[in-house]
Amino acid sequence: KRDPCIQGERTMQQGFLSLPDGHPAMMAMGDPNSKQEKLDPEEEKKRKHSFATFSSAESSNESFVPYYCFACGSFVMAVDGRLHQMPRRKTDAAIVLDAKKRLKHRLHQGECKTLKREGGVEKQYRWHCTCGVPVSYQSSEWSSECNFVYVIDCSLALNPSIVSLYWREEGRVLPECMAVREEEDGKGETLVVQIEIVPEMKRFGIAKFEDKMVVEVASTVVGGDMKEANSEAVKGVTKVLGSSSKQVKLDLGAGALIINGISSKDAMRRIVCAMH
Ligand SMILES: [Zn+2]
């Protein structure tokens, strides 16, 4: 399928697509330690409180979901639905968000970037968080109507407290539940993630990512049969990671997910962004 962001036919410059290690948002903010905003518990409470007031006044919609900047933890946008269930672009793994589902935002007009892509040129009209980090873009001018907005990979998170935890030094080492197996012949790494699946919850979600990854699912268990719950968990995590169904398998014996095709860093950031 044609990528709607890419216009025209031009040759690709080799090497252009290989992003340096680390997320665009992180590169934009430079050294995360120097700019890190310390969230003390009082401040966090205030933030949550102010959003609660805002959300009840602005919307009666139950699916109104607030998202926060992964760099600074400020409120960025409210979405009708959950970003980790939406499709991603193949090019840069940005989340494709139906513009009608971006209900409310505190984004600032950023710069217009022109990128060379395979098969053409792409213009990104970027939106920045109040901290200056680019978090989203669209393919036509800021003031124009567009069908889709793109959320930059790992730029927004569901839970601002998890974000502040992540940026503390110890939060960035891999959690206990995730082991990395280096594959031979440069075939990359396989991730082995210890998982616990909790059925009969309100919806799919990731509740914990420490000694175990605790995945909640809506599926019910009839007569002790976890088959449906397991399958919902695997599908949900596959979406979170932006992987394909071939890349994520459940090893029932080991109680672990076996994940291929994604680095441990990317997997960890995407999981952290989706945690509630
Ligand atoms: Zn920010």
- Residue 12 has what pLDDT? 33
Mean pLDDT of 246-252: 97
CA 118 – ligand 1 centroid, Å: 30
Mean pLDDT check: name the lowest of 77-81, 172-176, 250-254.
172-176
CA 216 – ligand 1 centroid, Å: 28
CATH assignment, 174-274: 3.30.1200.10
In terms of C-beta density within 10 A (0-12 exposed, 13-18 middle, 19 or more buried), how is residue 193 classed?
A: buried
CA 106 – ligand 1 centroid, Å: 10
pLDDT tier, 166 (very low <50, low <70, confident <90, very high otherwise):
confident
> Residues 9-18: pLDDT tens digits?
433 332 222 2
CA 232 – ligand 1 centroid, Å: 32
% of the chain beyond a pLDDT of 90? 63
> Residues 118-131: pLDDT tens digits?
889 999 999 999 99
Asked if the model's pLDDT at residue 165 lies above 60, the reply is: yes
CA 48 – ligand 1 centroid, Å: 16
Three-state secondary structure string covering the chain: CCCCCEECCCCCCCCCCCCCCCCHHHHHHCCHHHHCCCCCHHHHHHHHHHHHHHHHHHCCCCCEEEEEECCCCCEEEEEECCHHHCCECCCCCCEEEEHHHEEEECCEEEEEEEEEECCEEEEEEEEECCCCCEEEEECCCCCCCCCEEEECCCCEECCHHHHHHHHCHHHHCCCCCEEEEECCCCCCEEEEEEEEEECCCCCCEEEEECCCEEEECCCCCECCECHHHHHHHHHHHHHHHCCCCCCEEEECCCCEEEEECCCHHHHHHHHHHHEC
Q: Which residues surround ligand 1, an ion (CB under 5 A)?
A: 69, 71-72, 129, 131, 133
Q: Where are the domains of the chain?
A: 6-167, 174-274
> Residues 63-97: pLDDT tens digits?
789 999 999 999 999 999 999 999 999 999 999 99
> Residues 34-57: pLDDT tens digits?
333 444 555 555 444 344 334 433
CA 41 – ligand 1 centroid, Å: 18
